[in-house]
Amino acid sequence: MQNTITLNDKQIFTDFDWLHEHGETAFKEVNTTAYLAKRLDEMGIPYEQFENMTGLIATLGSGSPVIGMRTDIDALRQTYQGKEGVFHSCGHDAHMAIVLAVAQYYVDNPADLTGTLKLIFQPAEETVTGAEKVIKSGRLPHMNYLYGLHVCPEVQVRAKQAEPIIPAAATRTYWVTIKGKTAHAGTPELGANVIDAFSELNEKLRRINLDTKLPYSVTTTMFQAGKSSNIIPDYGTFAIDLRARTNDLMDELQQRAFEAMDSVQTDDIKVTLDGNDFSPAAIPSQKAIANMSSAITDVLGPAGLIDALDTPGGDDFHFYAYDGIADETTMLGLGCNLNPGLHIPGMTFERESILDGARMMIDVVRLTRN
């Protein structure tokens, strides 16, 4: 199948290079969106932009099935070699270049497309808020299938290999305030020390034990309280990171965390949840995984298809299935000899793997039927 997919390598790398050099953070991807719109205009592909939000949705073909393909478009603000900037250290530049290549292929080969193809250029994946805003915009129809992709570190997937699913974990971050009663350090009995309450809570969180063989974790990642060495603090803030293999397991883990927080409350100690960030776990679809597996073997051969490794990382791609707007979903895990790892400024990968990714994403659409 690979030999039947002709790509414009020069244009793909031109797109990648421009996007790589012009990274923008979540919901500020103004120039990125303009570039994507320009490229779609050049291809004659109709698209819709969102009101008061970056990103866009392009449409090719018509009828059933409705197939979606999503790429994230944001980058990260980081410091690299002493210079602060915005870098595509998570590979979203490659993802966009691949989806643009898919668009070009189906403009040139419309007979290969059965049904409608929706190309979703989604903002703000890094803040796990973009997908839900796209869904709530009302611009997307119900999709029979939705495909995504992500470049993978070499320790997970090597070049000329790919996973038919990235089994991402459910993730939650809780931002919490704890309030007590101040007093002089010499008369601690007159106060309610938020550090003592937090220490008790942290120990209870560490002791959470669920009856499962599936991986999960509870980690306190931040704590701040007190500004004086002789005053008992009456105010503190902390953050808790929860991760679980499935959404049901996350629900159970969340309940146990809430119980722990409630258990340290007294007349003088109050724990308040200020906010939380959530990204659901992957919901495996055997139909979508089978299509992606076939696309991988078509392009890379049987040796290129590898078993997916569990990852504690999250991705808001999974909101599309979690919220029910897409029936069958999966993400391609693209091997590209990426080092030293994602979210590390200066990370590199083999550019030629972008072409492999484009061919696989083209092929999975071609393989998809009702």
Give tens-digit pLDDT for 92-142: 999 999 999 999 999 999 999 999 999 999 999 999 999 999 999 999 999
pLDDT in tens, 206-220: 999 999 999 999 999
Q: Please state, rounded to an integer, the average pLDDT across all residues of the chain.
A: 97
Residue 1 scores a pLDDT above 60: no
pLDDT of residue 129: 95
Dihedral sign for Cα atoms in the order 103, 107, 109, 111: positive
Q: How confident is the model at residue 169, as a pLDDT?
A: 95
Confidence of residue 336 (pLDDT cuts 50, 70, 90): very high
- Asked if 332 and 163 count as a contact pair (C-beta separation under 8 A), the reply is yes
State how far the Cα of 301 lies from the Cα of 326, in Å rounded to an integer.
29
> How confident is the model over 135-156, as a mean pLDDT?
98
Has 343 been labeled as part of a binding site? Answer: yes
Domains of the chain from N-terminus onward:
2-168+282-367 (3.40.630.10), 170-279 (3.30.70.360)
Question: Quick one: CA torsion of 12, 50, 126, 332, rounded to 10 degrees?
Answer: -50
Strands 170-179 and 270-279: antiparallel
DSSP 280-339: PPP---HHHHHHHHHHHHHHH-GGGB-PPPPBS---GGGHHHHTTSEEEEEEEEEEEEEB
- How far is the C-alpha of 274 from the C-alpha of 66, rounded, in Å? 39
For residue 89, count other CB atoms closer than 10 A to its CB. Answer: 19
End-to-end CA distance of the chain: 21
336 annotated among ligand-binding-site residues: no
Q: What is the pLDDT of residues 75-88, one digit of tens each?
A: 999 998 888 999 99
The three-state secondary structure class of 66 is: strand
pLDDT value for 311:
86
Which among 70, 183, 163, 60 has a CA at the least distance from the CA of 125? 70
Residue 9: what residue type? D
The pLDDT assigned to 3 comes to 55
Whole-number pLDDT of residue 370: 78
| Helical ranges in 137-219 per DSSP H | 194-206
Residue 51 has pLDDT above 80, yes or no: yes
User: So what's the pLDDT on residue 4?
Assistant: 77
Q: How far is CA 223 from the centre of its chain?
A: 26
Q: Is 184 annotated as a binding residue?
A: no
Query: What's the predicted TM-score (pTM) here?
Result: 0.93
- What pLDDT does residue 238 have? 98
Residue-wise pLDDT for 239-277, tens only, equals 999 999 999 999 999 999 999 999 999 999 999 999 999
Nearest residue to 270 (alpha-carbon basis) of 301, 234, 238, 300: 234
